[in-house]
Amino acid sequence: MDKKSKLIKQILKFGVVGGLSFVIDFVITLIVSTVLRTVGMSVENAATVAGLFGFMISLIFNYIMSMKFVFERKEDMDRKKEFIIFALLSAIGLGINELILYFGVLICNTQMPAIVDAYPTIVTAGVKIIATGIVMVYNFVSRKMTLEKKD
């Protein structure tokens, strides 16, 4: 298989693993943010805190599936170091995700507060989708550069 075909296959696998991770992250984010709003937390703070919960659970799933199906492990790297690097790269992605969630919802709330008041879950979901797209590109590139065995 040539390099281009191998890369396309890898991106497709990354997309499947990422898609499943996204569903886990997304559902947990929406459930937790809804619960937090019911106890009085603001929409943007609830989205940010809930995003952390969704991220943590999906990170573990994503690591296991990515290293099993997407990336070719470096033989000279122990699994503990591999997970730490994966987690650190993911933490940077989390930072990007959290900033986009917080400021995206805050901007929506500033520009169209009536819509955010009426549909907070839909606004959170829309911003989360945008954040996920941006972080997905970062995750693939950073993991490929640092974790994958070089040809």
pLDDT in tens, 65-115: 999 999 988 888 888 999 999 999 999 998 998 899 999 999 999 999 999
Indicate if the pLDDT at residue 33 is higher than 80: yes
- What percent of the chain stands above pLDDT 90? 64
Indicate if the pLDDT at residue 16 is higher than 90: yes
Residue 146 in tokens: 């640092």
Indicate if the pLDDT at residue 1 is higher than 80: no
pLDDT at 149: 82
pLDDT at 116: 87
Give the three-class secondary structure for 71: coil
**Mean per-residue pLDDT of the chain:** 91
Indicate if the pLDDT at residue 151 is higher than 90: no
**CA–CA separation, 62 vs 93, rounded Å?**
13
Sign of the CA dihedral running 63, 65, 70, 74: positive
Q: Rg for the chain (alpha carbons), in Å?
A: 17
Residue 138 in tokens: 């970062």
